[in-house]
Amino acid sequence: IYADYVFRQSTQVTGIIYYDTRVEPGEIDDAQPIEHVPVYFHWEGFSTSSFTNGQGIFTVVLPVGAVVDATVHAGTMNVVNGTRFTVAEDMQNITMVARPGSEVSGALNLNRLGNFYSSNLIGWETATVLASHESIDAVWHIEVADDGMFSTVLPQGNWTFTTDLEWLNATNSTLNVDGKNDTINIILKPGDSFIEINFFLDHEGDNDLANGTLVEYRFSIVPINVVGQSVDVTVDGDEWTGAGHARVPIEAGEYRIDVEISDARAGDLFGTRIMTGDPFFVVGLGGDVIERSIGFDPEWRVDFTLTNESGGALADQNVRFINIETGWILSRLTDGNGSLVDHLPEGDWIVSIVDVDTGQAVMEGLRERITVSSANAETEHSFSTRELAFFTIDLWNEGNATLLDGMELILTSNENLGNITLDPTDNAGQVDSSVVSGSWNIELNFTDDGNRWIIETTLLAEDGVVSGPNGVIDIELTQLVKMSGTIFWDLDDDDDADVAEGVPDVSIHMTSEDAENITLVTDASGQWNVFVPLNSTWHITTNRTGFSEENQSVAMNNPNSIEIELSAGFVDISGVVTHDDLTSLGDDVVLELIPVEGMVRDRVTPVKTLVNGTWNGSWTATVEPGNWIIRATDESLNLIAMAVVEADIATGGSVDIELRHGGWLHLSTEWLDYNGTQHSLAESNVMGAQMVEDPSFTLSTGASVEWAAILDASGSISILMPSGTIEVSSEFEVNQMNRTMEYTAGKNINVPASGTDLTASVTQELKFSRIANHEIDASTISMTGGNATVSGDLSDVTVLFDEDGNYSSVDYTLSLDYLGDEPISTFTVVATVGGTDGSDWAVTFFNPDSQTWDDEFTFQFGLLDTNNSTTYDDLRVRVTPANLSTAHSFEAGHNVRILIQTADAYSFEHSLTVRIPQFHSFELTEEMVDIYGIRPGESLNIGINFLNAGNGDERFEFEFDDTQLPEYWERTGATSHTIGAFVATTHTLTFMAPANATGEEDFTITVNVTDKSGGTYQPLAIHVRTSLPVLTIIEVTTSTEPTFGNTHTFMVKVENSGLVDAKNVVINATVQGTDVHATQTLDILAGAEVIYFIDVNFTTFGPEQIWIDFTIEDEDQEFANDPAVKSKRYTLKSPAIDDSTATNVIMYGLAIMLIIAAIYLTRGGTRRPGAPF
């Protein structure tokens, strides 16, 4: 941060503050000093303060030459004073007498009353109100709070208020402070901010203007809180500055862009449903420009007139529109004249009427293709239905003439009319159907459980189907069956295709006398599949480089999965062993190829390459493909080398290794049977503790060098190993105590390195641990307090009621069987209850030691239980449901999870199902309104606010008695409502009044409610009446008397006593005999009152009497009444002016006259003759 500071010569200013509570000024001698109050000083944008001492004296340091406003206010006595002085070095002390003042409050209003200058506006700055008195030099500086409010105490008299922020363009406001109505509103007129909006049809759904079609449509800018003012923009408003581009001046605030849904019947050519773009924005005070792009769903107007083949209008006819590209289906209804006017998404559509019953035993339908776009948005379409073509399709299975059912056939039009999926075939393999006449193809591709039935695309009828009956059409289909399998290489020699043994990229060639040849390639896991004709026979040949060719014949009478094992050919591998003195080592180096862990193969001895009878270090071998470990050792010199050689199927492999000094590992093994007797891994057939199969024992030196090592007859191993850390692991299973128990062991061992004349070794013992197993099983052996839901199943019960009418507890006894391996296992049992009310349930367990029911219980048993039993048959559980007003009834019941756990994370779960009987109840949460109003040509949503007071999921059926519904009116709404227990919601029905409604309609719809148990409730009466708003101007008020030469705000209270809302109601204030008027537009809800704030400009008027007419405009809407004009008379007064100069002149004149009179009356002189003295 960088700043410049200028120091100025300053001096200490001293003063004294007195107070005098008399309204009229008295002698200073009669005043008292004010102790310990702040004195505020303001000059040139700076401020400071000082406190008076116990004698009312203050001192402050101020810059010389500054013109300072000093003010003081003693709060408890409400006395105040202010003075202005120029700071000088030799200035005299300041004396101020604070006298009674009046509390003044006010607010900064943006553009109009009530729109406060608050800190939540972007661009807000701290403001100070400057108050000037007509006869006081000092200016009061009043801080404005964050909400735009301010308050202070001022001497009485005429005051003028403004602010220190010039950009706010505050209007000078005057107030006569007299202690009666001392409130001042300052109107701020900062420069406008702007919102610039592009409106377009978003064809790509990406909010990119470049891909759209620019459009103009009326819209509104609506504040989303009390800050800001609504702005309505018409389609021909001045705000439009270009195609689809509007620039709207806007006050600071948070707003939403509202675009009403366009009306195709009113002639709107495109839809206005907002699809992309952010309609919300925040605009600040600093002349901000906010930009938004609003993308509409690309919809265009369509206009249809639909008739039957005889020319009759298809009134109230359901018409389906099927999008050709996506298959998306929209449904619309024609009106009473068979007309359908709406907006549809752009694109190609099929117009479809499935069937129309003409009443003359003739069914008609319609299927036409249209394009929805801007080019035909004004086109009127006329379509007529025609008699449908009827036919029966009879399916036969090729080869065995078996009838097939459940097949869904597809018809595709050859006249660009899309496709139709027919109903499934019946048990006879037949389906009756009807389509519009014309040329259609039929096809089928149906797969189920490895079987596939197909009909290749073929004509339904050679010459097309014609209107009327077309008889039975026989269609023969082909049945295929799935042939699949895995081609694998058996690495672990278990004759089964295990994970990771599948061979990829194997070419499969299939030949058959019954079908064309097929060629496949296996995937990454060696799998393949293909569908072939039923009852066909195939010869399968495999081919993969490095593997032998395999052949197999398969008869496909059913779906079949086949495993084919490949045998790998042998490949050549080689390598070189190096050492500084390899020649002298000669034949002492032993070579061995060991298969890596997981590959079951015999060990192989490589062939050394001799040159002139001497081994040069090279070796070769022929092996099966896979990974092998080459091991080279000279145990006499402690030399060893090991590495992995990858024997590729196609190319073999090679690796070079170097002999280095290693160390010896001497490792013994130990495991204990259940009786504690010690054994080695060589002992696999111990009486009562037999190993299931040979133990695994692997050594690893890292870098994939891991192999199955061979133990000696004592279960030990002594082996030369490369120096460094090696890993030893082993595992096996033992049958003992009528259990199969797992043992495991593993450790890392650091093998030291030997030297030329030194043998290094490490001796270790590998001790095995039995894997802990606490497995148990449980069953419910008794239950009281409930009824078994299913006879004999004690784990699924329905609760009963106790004597108090609440749900009774259910007591269970569980029997536990120990299936684990431990002599004694310690278990802790707890429980949880599912469902939204689960936390209100209690599950406790009986503790036989304390004779209490506890939330958890700990007990022990195992293979060596003191009772010599592996059964714990007295675990008592008590389930207490939530109370009647809380417990829910679930269709599947409450799942009570009994969790039996050990400290080492074993957990067993036993589930109990506890069912709560369901009761049903329907309750209104809000009474229905006596009368609902609706305008002609509009729709009305009525909500039934209700509570499912029952304790379970409920489906309420709503039956509507529409017998009183007037002609051409519509009532829509769902006939059922699914809801959870104790949940409140709203069920909505919609009434649509035709545009030609008479306005006299008055009817009642009765709603009958039934729950899923068949229970009924008090019918609901919905009384609907056509209505219009009834508007009345209640009163016109103003906070102060209007003055000429400025703008004045009038508050107009308007009431809507009608049954329907009034939208965009305009109140016009017009000065009679002039063209001066002002308006404001607001919505007035039914039954509500709204206050309009209307600013009337009196700048062209003088001091005069005027009449103002306040009227409700009825443009573009209809009211039930003719709102009366509210006329009021006002006398425009002069605004407050600064008359301090004239007052001072008069006072000076009076003083001079008094002085002359005093001199005249008191002067000496010669006494007149005859005077008494």
Instruction: Provide the pLDDT confidence category of residue 367 given band limits of 50, 70 and 90.
Output: very high
pLDDT at 613: 86
Q: How far is CA 1116 from CA 376, 1053, 1080, in A?
A: 30, 22, 16
Q: pLDDT by residue (tens digit) across 1061-1071?
A: 888 899 999 99
State the SS3 of 241-309: EECCEEEEEECCEEEEEECCCCCCCCCCCECCCEEECCCEEEECCCCCEEEEEEEECCEEEEEEEEECC
What does the alpha-carbon distance between residue 406 and residue 1169 come to, in Å, rounded to a whole number? 151
Residue 520 lies in a domain: yes
Owner of token pair 């007529």: 384
Instruction: Provide the pLDDT confidence category of residue 858 given band limits of 50, 70 and 90.
Output: very high
Q: Does the structure show a pLDDT above 70 at 1161? A: no
Token couple for 464: 């097309």
Contact at 8 Å (CB) between 698 and 795? no
pLDDT at 229: 77
Residue 447 lies in a domain: no
Q: pLDDT by residue (tens digit) across 564-609?
A: 888 877 889 999 999 988 888 878 999 999 999 888 888 999 999 9
Instruction: Provide the pLDDT confidence category of residue 402 given band limits of 50, 70 and 90.
Output: low
Asked whether residue 221 falls in the same domain as residue 81, the answer is no
Asked whether residue 819 falls in the same domain as residue 808, the answer is yes
Q: What is the mean pLDDT of the chain?
A: 88
What burial letters (b/e) apply to 1117-1150, b meaning 16+ CB within 10 Å?
Answer: eebbeebeebeeebebeeebeeeeeeeeeeeeee
Q: Does the structure show a pLDDT above 50 at 1142? A: no
What does the alpha-carbon distance between residue 746 and residue 729 come to, in Å, rounded to a whole number? 4
Which residues 6+ apart lie within 8 Å of 884 measured at CB?
Answer: 805, 806, 807
SS3 1061: coil
Measure the N-to-C terminal CA separation of the chain; round to a whole number of Å.
88
Asked whether residue 284 falls in the same domain as residue 346, the answer is no
Q: How many domains is the chain partitioned into structurally?
A: 8
Q: Does the structure show a pLDDT above 50 at 952? A: yes
Asked whether residue 16 falls in the same domain as residue 147, the answer is yes
Instruction: Provide the pLDDT confidence category of residue 312 given band limits of 50, 70 and 90.
Output: confident
Q: Does the structure show a pLDDT above 60 at 58? A: yes
Length in residues, the chain = 1173
- CB neighbours of residue 569 within 10 Å: 14
Q: pLDDT by residue (tens digit) across 478-489?
A: 889 999 989 888
- Positive or negative, the Cα torsion across 863, 864, 866, 868? positive
Q: pLDDT by residue (tens digit) across 1008-1030?
A: 999 999 999 999 999 999 999 99
Residue 749 lies in a domain: no
Asked whether residue 596 falls in the same domain as residue 554, the answer is no
Asked whether residue 181 falls in the same domain as residue 70, the answer is yes
Asked whether residue 799 falls in the same domain as residue 907, the answer is yes
CATH of the domain at 941: 2.60.40.2310
Asked whether residue 985 falls in the same domain as residue 953, the answer is yes
What does the alpha-carbon distance between residue 1009 and residue 948 come to, in Å, rounded to a whole number? 12
Instruction: Provide the pLDDT confidence category of residue 1147 given band limits of 50, 70 and 90.
Output: very low
Which of these, 123, 120, 219, lies nearest to 165 by C-alpha position? 123
Residue 522 lies in a domain: yes
What does the alpha-carbon distance between residue 944 and residue 694 come to, in Å, rounded to a whole number? 75
CATH of the domain at 523: 2.60.40.1120
pLDDT at 779: 94
- CB neighbours of residue 226 within 10 Å: 10
What does the alpha-carbon distance between residue 189 and residue 117 come to, in Å, rounded to a whole number? 11
What does the alpha-carbon distance between residue 807 and residue 839 come to, in Å, rounded to a whole number? 16
pLDDT at 1117: 77
Q: How far is CA 719 from CA 587, 712, 723, 761, 835, in A?
A: 20, 11, 12, 10, 62
Residue 398 lies in a domain: no
What does the alpha-carbon distance between residue 968 and residue 996 come to, in Å, rounded to a whole number? 9
pLDDT at 76: 67
Q: β-strand 954-961 against 1002-1010: which pairing, if any?
A: antiparallel
What does the alpha-carbon distance between residue 169 and residue 110 come to, in Å, rounded to a whole number? 10
Residue where one domain finishes, among candidates 513, 538, 565: 565
- CB neighbours of residue 707 within 10 Å: 22
Residue 729 lies in a domain: no
Residue 609 lies in a domain: yes
What type of residue is 122?
Answer: I
Residue 432 lies in a domain: no
Instruction: Provide the pLDDT confidence category of residue 1 given band limits of 50, 70 and 90.
Output: low
What type of residue is 272?
Answer: T
Q: Does the structure show a pLDDT above 90 at 721? A: yes
- CB neighbours of residue 299 within 10 Å: 22
What does the alpha-carbon distance between residue 1032 and residue 1120 come to, in Å, rounded to a whole number? 11
Contact at 8 Å (CB) between 48 and 41? yes
Q: Does the structure show a pLDDT above 70 at 151? A: yes
What does the alpha-carbon distance between residue 468 and residue 390 come to, in Å, rounded to a whole number? 6
Q: Does the structure show a pLDDT above 70 at 29? A: no
Q: Does the structure show a pLDDT above 50 at 1156? A: no
Instruction: Provide the pLDDT confidence category of residue 403 given band limits of 50, 70 and 90.
Output: low
Residue where one domain finishes, among candidates 1026, 1051, 1079: 1026
Q: Does the structure show a pLDDT above 60 at 1168? A: no
| 1162 φ/ψ angles, rounded to the nearest 5 degrees | -110, 0
CATH of the domain at 1101: 2.60.40.10
| Residue span of the structural domain in which 63 resides | 10-186
Q: pLDDT by residue (tens digit) across 427-463?
A: 888 899 999 999 999 999 988 888 888 989 999 999 9
What does the alpha-carbon distance between residue 669 and residue 764 come to, in Å, rounded to a whole number? 9
pLDDT at 1162: 43
Asked whether residue 782 falls in the same domain as residue 899, the answer is yes
What does the alpha-carbon distance between residue 893 and residue 914 come to, in Å, rounded to a whole number? 6
The burial class, CB within 10 Å (0-12 / 13-18 / 19+), for 1025 is middle
Residue where one domain finishes, among candidates 869, 893, 915: 915
Asked whether residue 22 falls in the same domain as residue 159, the answer is yes
Asked whether residue 944 falls in the same domain as residue 956, the answer is yes
Instruction: Give me the long-range contacts of 600-609 (CB less than 8 A, separation at least 24).
Output: 600/491, 600/492, 600/493, 601/626, 604/628, 606/575, 606/630
SS3 906: coil
pLDDT at 1141: 42
Owner of token pair 């707003």: 255
For 667, which DSSP code? E
Instruction: Provide the pLDDT confidence category of residue 1159 given band limits of 50, 70 and 90.
Output: very low
Of 212-216, 351-355, 973-977, the poorest mean pLDDT is in: 973-977
Helix (H) / strand (E) element for 1146: namely helix 1140-1162
Asked whether residue 288 falls in the same domain as residue 306, the answer is no
Q: pLDDT by residue (tens digit) across 102-132?
A: 889 999 988 888 888 888 888 889 999 999 9
Token couple for 612: 């002139």
Of 296-300, 885-889, 968-972, the poorest mean pLDDT is in: 968-972
Token couple for 857: 């219980």
The burial class, CB within 10 Å (0-12 / 13-18 / 19+), for 756 is exposed
Token couple for 129: 């109100």
CATH of the domain at 232: 2.60.40
What does the alpha-carbon distance between residue 226 and residue 231 come to, in Å, rounded to a whole number? 14
pLDDT at 652: 87
788-795 average pLDDT score = 88
Helix (H) / strand (E) element for 1152: namely helix 1140-1162
